[in-house]
Amino acid sequence: MSVGPDRLRDKVVLLTGATGGIGVEIVRRLADEGAHVVVTDLDESACHDLLRTLARPERHAAHALDVSSEEQWEAVVAAVEGQFGAVHALVNNAAIGSVATAEDETRAHWDRVIGIGQTGTWLGMKHSGPLIERSGGGSIVNMCSILGTVGGLGNSVAYAAAKGAVRTMTKNAALHWAKAGVRVNSLHPGFIATPPLLERWEGTERHREMLAGTPMGRLGRGEEIAAAVAFLAGDDSTFVTGSEIYADGGWTAA
């Protein structure tokens, strides 16, 4: 897979949920393409550990961030503006999953899934969007899912609720910022073979269902999602806003 080393040269990209499977691949791709990556997650030490794996860690930054906390969003965005003077792209990647059905989900876990995946995405747009506008415009990439569009396997109700909201919030925000130079798009992965997914499900009936529902006959790879993020974050997508980009091996086409 080819990488354009200059496509994101000197762009400041803020990424949430950076130390998970897909997040790590996004960090690497953005850094390879020349971005200054602001790596955020709950565990700041894990963020610094990730930066140390990059070729030039001093070009990047790491911050602890609970995306469900408005106060933490305010602090991180202010710190990033103080260090870099701008943000050119936000990638709202942070989320937690759930496999519970509408009957089995608990209220406590529902609230946490919604707080991170839905409310956290809104807070990211609220606090980063104006800075992106002041920085001369740019891009917001909201990580969604096929489960924001279709029913999947009939479970994961809280996750589906959060991602369905992200899908429509994206379109709403795209219209809000359409003339302000801030593009807002959602990226919808299918089932991606990250280590946590494989460790939990490989060889099970659920894993077989994931494969059976994917016309390409395989799970996606994290670097394939990262490539789509890099496209949306950079200037190759300057006429793309309010769109849903699917990287799902054909799941939603079947």
Q: What is the pLDDT of residues 200-225, one digit of tens each?
A: 888 898 889 989 999 999 999 999 99
Beta-carbon contacts of residue 130 (< 8 Å; ≥ 6 apart):
none
Structure token pair of residue 125:
């747009």
Q: How far, in Å, CA of 206 to CA of 213, rounded?
A: 11
Q: Which fold has domain 12-246?
A: Rossmann fold (3.40.50)
Tell me the two tokens of residue 31.
Answer: 């850094």
Spot the catalytic one: 73, 122, 159, 231.
159
Report the alpha-carbon distance of residue 62 to residue 117 in Å, rounded.
Answer: 20
pTM over 0.85: yes
Mean per-residue pLDDT, 54-76: 97
Which run of H or E residues covers position 189?
A: strand 182-189
Our answer to whether residue 246 is catalytic in this structure is no
What is the pLDDT at residue 198? 72
Per-residue confidence (pLDDT) for residue 212, from 0 to 100:
93
- pLDDT digit string, tens, across residues 126-148: 999 999 999 999 999 999 999 99
| Res. 111: pLDDT tops 60 | yes
